[in-house]
């Protein structure tokens, strides 16, 4: 498995942190490739429970080099806080590297995120308010500041001044701090960050030449991708597998495996109004939310819960080229008498929608078509192999493979690292 990509197959929160932590044990390099501190990758292992926003989930393996790739937007304050927190819990960040091309989230990006959400009114996206939209706008607008800009302090302060004035034009009085205040603060953060910053693509090219195991860790999920997701209710980075190459500097031809992480049901978080065809009735959704603790790792917001949408998963499989699936949270589905799986859509008038007609940005106009699968009671305590699972759970996994047309190779049965079956 020299170069493997791990991608969320739904609307994020699929359990990528756990899958990456599990796979990292055999990895020489783990690279975060997109997003920013909007992500919250939950990892539970022998060191405790962590919610990683920027540091790759490979950090727990002392032999692994962890890289924050060029596709990630960094909030220096959050990153430094995370490093500090890890150090306090005995985890060394000595092997952490940050791409010099990763963009910096500046204080006004967060204010602009808040302002833009307000201006959207009823059409608000429900962003995480971490400044993601504005920082990636600046990146493609070619106004952004990158981690590598820290190296030349004079140039850095000139670029920062330009960015500050632009933000001032948009924010007016809302930008209440002075340029000098901000400059001083950022330069003090620079002192701590500089030792991690380097041209990470060169490190990765050498790793490829030496046939090292590399894992590319995607954030968010396919349906939040800025191109192929449920636009405009998406994030501002490329969450699909193609972005892993762009966000790390690894050429596409070097990627060997693409693992799609699929939660055994579906969740969505946002402003609350975004289309979600397989959303469960309120009572069932609330019960599952409480049982599975479906609250945002970054914002604490309650997640909406729904049945598994295999029609959208098939789309995710095509766009990412999944070579296998990791199904997570199967344990959270225990206790249902019957489960539903969506395998197609109809129009509101009842006309079937073919796969070729599926549009991820027109989900408001569709009705899901379900098959019913028998549920199961709690799993036996110590499941070590597939045959230890109740036959209904095995059938459910079989249906996923059949409908998505990709084999299931990993099954997560609980939050701990060891609660994972490889099949």
Instruction: Answer yes or no whether residue 224 interacts with ligand IMP by CB under 6 A.
Output: yes
B/e letters for 177-192, b = 16+ CB within 10 Å, e = fewer, are eeeeebbeebeebbee
Site for ligand IMP in 249-278 (CB under 6 A): 269-270
Task: Choose between 224 and 383: whose C-beta lies nearer to ligand IMP.
Answer: 224
Token pair of 408 as six digits: 């299931």
CA distances from 279 to 125, 126, 253, 273 (A): 18, 17, 38, 11
Q: What is the smallest separation between the CB atom of 136 and ligand IMP, expressed in angstroms?
A: 9
Instruction: Answer yes or no whether residue 39 interacts with ligand IMP by CB under 6 A.
Output: yes
Binding part of the chain for ligand IMP, among 83-91, 180-188, 202-210, 229-237 by CB under 6 A, reads 229-237
Q: Which of 3, 4, 10, 13 binds ligand IMP (CB under 6 A)?
A: 13
Q: What is the smallest separation between the CB atom of 166 and ligand IMP, expressed in angstroms?
A: 19
Q: What is the smallest separation between the CB atom of 65 and ligand IMP, expressed in angstroms?
A: 24
Residue 302, strand partner residues = 295
Q: What is the smallest separation between the CB atom of 129 and ligand IMP, expressed in angstroms?
A: 7
Instruction: Answer yes or no whether residue 12 interacts with ligand IMP by CB under 6 A.
Output: yes
What DSSP string describes 96-163?
A: EEEETTPEEP-HHHHHHHHHHHHHHGGG-----SSSHHHHHHHHHHT---BGGGGGSHHHHHHHHHHH
- 283 CB-contact burial (10 Å; exposed 0-12 / middle 13-18 / buried 19+): exposed
Task: Choose between 114 and 392: whose C-beta lies nearer to ligand IMP.
Answer: 114
SS3 state of residue 228: coil
Instruction: Answer yes or no whether residue 220 interacts with ligand IMP by CB under 6 A.
Output: yes
The rounded distance, in Å, linking the Cα atoms of 380 and 389 is 7
- Dihedrals φ, ψ of 219, to 5°? -110, 165
Active site residues: 13, 41
The rounded distance, in Å, linking the Cα atoms of 55 and 95 is 11
Site for ligand IMP in 331-370 (CB under 6 A): none
Q: Looking up tokens 């129009």, which residue turns up?
A: 347
Token pair of 56 as six digits: 């790759």
Q: What is the smallest separation between the CB atom of 223 and ligand IMP, expressed in angstroms?
A: 9
Tell me the number of residues near ligand IMP by CB under 6 A: 21
Binding part of the chain for ligand IMP, among 92-100, 190-198, 233-241, 258-266 by CB under 6 A, reads 233-241
Site for ligand IMP in 116-135 (CB under 6 A): 125-128, 130, 132-133
Residue numbers of the site for ligand IMP (CB under 6 A)? Answer: 11-13, 38-40, 125-128, 130, 132-133, 219-220, 224, 233, 235-236, 269-270
């Amino acid at each position: 498995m020299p170069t493997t990509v791990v991608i969320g197959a739904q609307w994020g929160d699929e359990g990528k942190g756990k899958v990456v932590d599990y796979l990292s044990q055999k990895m020489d390099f783990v690279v975060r490739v997109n997003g920013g501190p909007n992500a919250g990758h939950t990892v539970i292992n022998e060191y405790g429970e962590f919610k990683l926003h920027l540091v790759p989930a490979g950090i727990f393996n002392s032999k692994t080099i962890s890289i924050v790739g060029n596709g990630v937007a960094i909030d220096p304050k959050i990153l430094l806080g995370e490093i500090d927190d890890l150090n306090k819990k005995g985890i060394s960040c000595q092997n952490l590297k940050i791409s010099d091309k990763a963009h910096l989230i500046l204080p006004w990006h967060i204010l602009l995120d808040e302002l833009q959400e307000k201006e959207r009114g009823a059409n608000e996206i429900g962003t995480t308010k971490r400044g993601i939209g504005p920082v990636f706008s600046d990146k493609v607008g070619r106004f952004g500041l990158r981690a590598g800009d820290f190296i030349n302090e004079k140039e850095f302060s000139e670029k920062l001044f330009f960015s500050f004035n632009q933000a001032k034009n948009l924010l007016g009085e809302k930008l209440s701090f002075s340029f000098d205040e901000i400059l001083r603060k950022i330069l003090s953060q620079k002192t701590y960050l500089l030792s991690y910053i380097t041209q990470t693509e060169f490190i990765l090219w050498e790793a490829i030449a030496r046939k090292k195991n590399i894992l590319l860790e995607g954030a968010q999920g396919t349906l939040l991708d800025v191109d192929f997701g449920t636009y405009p209710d998406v994030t501002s980075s490329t969450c699909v597998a193609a972005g892993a190459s762009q966000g790390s500097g690894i050429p596409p031809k070097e990627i060997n495996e693409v693992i799609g992480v699929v939660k055994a049901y579906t969740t969505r978080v946002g402003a609350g109004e975004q289309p979600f065809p397989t959303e469960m009735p309120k009572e069932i959704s609330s019960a599952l939310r409480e049982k599975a603790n479906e609250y945002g790792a970054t914002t604490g917001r309650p997640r909406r819960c729904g049945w598994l949408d295999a029609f959208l998963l098939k789309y995710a499989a095509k766009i990412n080229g999944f070579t296998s699936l990791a199904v997570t949270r199967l344990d959270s589905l225990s206790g249902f008498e019957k489960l539903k799986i969506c395998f197609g859509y109809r129009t509101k008038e009842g006309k079937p929608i073919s796969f070729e007609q599926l549009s991820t940005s027109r989900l408001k106009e569709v009705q899901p078509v379900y098959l019913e699968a028998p549920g199961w009671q709690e799993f036996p305590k110590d499941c070590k192999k597939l045959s230890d699972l109740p036959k209904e759970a095995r059938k459910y996994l079989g249906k996923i493979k059949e409908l998505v047309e990709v084999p299931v190779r990993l099954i997560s049965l609980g939050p701990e690292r060891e609660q994972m079956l490889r099949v």
